[in-house]
Structure 1
Amino acid sequence: MAIATFKDLCLDANDPAAMGRFWAPTLGLSVTALDDGDVRLDGPTPQHAVWVNRVDEPVTTKQRVHLDVHASGPGEVLERGATPLDWGPLPWDVMEDPEGGELCVFTRADVPAYRLYEVVVDSADGHAIASWWADVFGATVQDHTADEANDHAFSWFEDAPGMPFEMVFGDVPEPKTVKNRIHWDVDTDDVQRLVDAGATVLAEHPSWTVLADPEGNEFCAFTPQD
């Protein structure tokens, strides 16, 4: 039984307005400027929202969480300010956004209006952490073993209620060293149920609780009284 539901995504940025101008068309969303200088990217449901929040820290290392997007080709993303990073034989192109965060671009003949394909999380044990989140959301985990097309094993789910994209957890050798610049928010009736399942409380705020999953990925939990 699910103990939380997906709420929205959050993206750290040194310049939220500039990053909003890049990410809104890249994700097929519209931009709403907020009074505090942050921006929100909006789509057809509240779960499509991406909050772009100002932080002082720049990108210093490869992001442990990145976004995969649909596009008509890499050129349109480059024109918005992306930088090519890894162009090879794989069916996607790796780029950096204007602040140095990685993203993968999948070229499609027919590009959907909503362009976020996957949220990808580097993991020490992709199956274990994907299973943990699948249990949290009431989803079904699936596994892919390493092969010639993809030399990393990964696990994913695509049936979390309200989540408008897939979540993919891929095995990587390097450990987590810094705070993730992309995280997700959840709604739950009881934060303690997340803690009992294996999450760790990092900070408590009047309107939300910051937690980490068993691999240290930060997320925020909101309860009905919030």
Structure 2
Amino acid sequence: MRVTLGPLVAEAEDPTALDAFWTAALGAAQCRRLLVFRPQLRPKTVKNRVHLDLYVRDVGLLVGLGARVLAEHDGWTTLADPEGNEFCAFPGTESLPGVQPPARVFAVCTDSDRPEELAAWWARRVGAEVRDGPDNTPRWLYGSAGWENLIWKFVRVHDPRVVPNRWRWSVHPDPGVRVDPQGNEISVLRRGCPSD
């Protein structure tokens, strides 16, 4: 069944405060389109297996909003939002016209120990084109229904899943399943609001 991707459903200790951070970082329109916050079901204990990649004008602007730097890499920075949710920031002033907001989402990243398999499975369901990642393996999706302007990156990891995802994607219509083949939970959009 073909589905359309909706916003990421993000668990939060304080949904209102986390929404305020991401709205300031991305702007209200982009935040509403890409993120929905709900009360957490359990505290955060491990790194998120789903995160955003952002183009940013200046990492310092995000730190000023409440993010913290976790690691500096060659060409990008790993940060955490005020509740510790990881995300990656890449310099991208040419992609950020004007003054506000300080960041723009360009990719959703999903950890997987078999990213090629998961990318192929989701590509069939969201009508995406599969392209190679930087390691020349087919694991990046382009043109996913609902996320046409985003890259969906399936990131190779070797650490096992130990808890349900704090951030998960939503879809419509109901695909009849609540998890994909690798255990990633799916929320279903009903009347504009994601539900489980």
Q: Compute the TM-score of the two structures, normalised by the length of structure 2.
A: 0.85
Deviation at 1:142, TM superposition (A): 1.0
Of 163, 167, 171 in structure 2, the residue corresponding to residue 178 of structure 1 is: 163
Alignment deviations for residues 55-99 of structure 1 (CA, whole Å, 9 cap, x no partner): 15221111111111111011011111111111132x110011111
**Contact in 1 for aligned 2:130/2:138 (Cα 8 Å):** no
Does residue 141 of structure 2 align to residue 157 of structure 1?
A: yes
The equivalent of 2:5 in structure 1 is: 6
Determine if contact 1:154/1:169 at 8 Å carries over to the other structure: no
- Alpha-carbon RMSD across the aligned residues, in angstroms, is 2.3
* 3-state SS, counterpart of residue 57 of structure 1: coil
Question: Cα offset for 1:119?
Answer: 0.7
Q: 1:92·1:107 contact (CA, 8 Å) conserved in 2?
A: yes
Larger radius of gyration: 1
* Secondary structure class of the residue paired with 1:168: strand
Change (3 A) 1:214 1:69: same
2:37 corresponds to: 52
Structure 1, unaligned runs of 5 or more: 32-40, 43-47, 148-152, 193-200, 202-210
Cα distance in 2 for residues equivalent to 1:223 and 1:19: 23
Report the count of equivalent residues: 186
Is the partner of 2:129 in helix, strand or coil?
Answer: coil
* Correspondence 1:191 to 2:175: yes
Percent identity, please.
Answer: 32
Q: 103-112 or 13-22: which moved more? A: 103-112
Q: How does 1:59-138 map to 2 (within 5 A)?
A: 59-89=44-74, 91-110=75-94, 111=96, 115-138=104-127
Alignment partners' CA distance in 2, 1:105 and 1:29: 19
How far apart are the structure 2 equivalents of 1:136 and 1:223? Answer: 18
Q: Which runs of 4+ in 1 moved over 4 A?
A: none
Structure 2 residue identity aligned to 1:118: A
Asked if 1:169 corresponds to 2:160, the answer is no
Deviation at 1:109, TM superposition (A): 1.9
Higher relative contact order (CA 8 A, sep 6+): 2
After TM superposition, give the deviation of residue 187 of structure 1 in Å. 0.6
Residue 145 of structure 1 and its aligned partner are, at CA, apart by: 5.0
Partner of 2:187: 220
Query: TM-score, normalising length from structure 1?
Result: 0.75
Measured against aligned partners, the alpha-carbon deviations of 1:93-149 in whole angstroms (never above 9, x if no partner) come to 0011111111101111231567111110010111110111110101111122538xx
**Which amino acid letter does the alignment assign opposite residue 86 of structure 2?**
E
CA contact (8 A) 1:127 1:154 kept: yes
Question: 1: CA distance between counterparts of 2:72 and 2:7?
Answer: 30
- Runs of 5+ unmatched residues, structure 2: none
Residues 158, 28 of structure 1: alpha-carbon distance in 2 compared, 3 angstrom cutoff: farther
